[in-house]
A and B are shown apart, each in its own frame.
Chain A
């Protein structure tokens, strides 16, 4: 049996005692935690091929050394089911990738936080919600705990604390932890993981640096191209982070598409690249929309084309459709981009 290296402490065998201690010691997120007993932590470690003392990396903002054991301790506190622990490890590997840019994302004034999107055959088994209420409220254990485990690692190992090391102005609900699945079986297009080079049999976590979820709704457009056009105009809102940048060439925005809309859109856009191309083609605002000083800023940054259009971003592949949600249709969401972060897709290894 693996010998755990983390310091231990004795706490009364009472759920409230550990909860109150976590509040006093500032280990938690304000919600109750599961005490990380040796037995519980070892159960999680048994589900990963990695040794407990393996260093996954240095986690910003304070560059704490994140070991697999510390990830398991935090995942235990978050309530992660032992067999779901590989998803936590995969998500943390994504966060630690230089291209995810945790150094900036954990310290920014923005609300940005890891948003986890899961593909693969075990979504349902682990309670990773991908149907009705998947972005909140469906209450699957995987959705409620895997993202939370990542957040606790950022807080307890990385030292991310709002108002101290994190300068986030508002934060966002996803800072508790956001994890949802793609409804691959209802998607007319290859899944997010497949588009990243994985196959359907693999369990994959994609980590998006998302600023928040921006909802939109439609009942006025019957033509799929009209709907896609309006989605494009909607996501190109004038105070989008992309319009703050020198270029629109980095980062992605996740387009959360419900299965009913996906089916409609696929009649006109059978290839996902066609949809991405069409949305990108219309994701711009006329320069005249902006106030004069703002216009000059965009002109100075070279963001205005010869037809007076200010494109949201540089390429169609930066707009990333993911199919999930309930069958009521009508609604979509954009998981907006911090821009200076690239989605990382990582296989959960067993």
Chain B
């Protein structure tokens, strides 16, 4: 099984990747909130919008994921709140671990088991999962941004950020 990694240092100065697919508004609001938190904590957020997985779009996505992985120190990939989006979120988080970088995949609890199954199938059974309530989508924006605040410290803990 592939190893996992932790940051083991303070957040300031780190480049932290935030990956979304442009689909789930709830996750994009959380990413938006976290961008602000990370900047306030002295880190640099690097947002990746992972688009299609096949054809010309797929080739572009693979290039963009590789560049994102290269450009960051650690990151989170989400959102797993459907079958294929969980699978793809895991896939891109695994790309981070393959580059020996701390990685977290964001999933909703209904899809946690699926995320762990897919991570195991890819040889990364210990991939860290940040588990959000389900369903996250369709909640009011204000509530989602409150959830973002609540889960931000848990995200940093999973990355292994020291205080």
Contacts and interface: CB of A to CB of B under 8 A. Distances in A.
Interface residues of B, number: 26
A98 B56 CA distance: 13
A165 B118 CA distance: 8
A118 B111 CA distance: 36
Q: Chain A interface mostly helix, strand, loop or mixed? A: loop
B15 interface: no
B162 interface: no
Interface residues of A, number: 33
Given A63-B121, A101-B53, A108 B22 contact: no
A61 interface: yes
A104 B84 contact: yes
A249 B56 CA distance: 8
Nearest to B120: A62
Contacts of B51: 246-247
Contact of A104 (B53, B55, B114, B122): B53
A245 interface: yes
Q: Chain B interface mostly helix, strand, loop or mixed? A: helix
B117 A165 contact: yes
Given A62-B121, A63-B121, A107-B118, A250 B52 contact: yes
Nearest to B28: A300
Contacts of A168: 83
**Closest A-B pairs by Cβ, 9 of them:** A167-B83, A108-B84, A104-B84, A108-B83, A109-B83, A107-B83, A109-B82, A107-B87, A250-B52
Given A104-B84, A297-B25, 15 more contacts: A60-B121, A63-B122, A104-B88, A107-B118, A110-B84, A168-B83, A245-B52, A246-B49, A247-B52, A250-B53, A301-B22, A340-B54, A340-B84, A341-B54, A342-B55
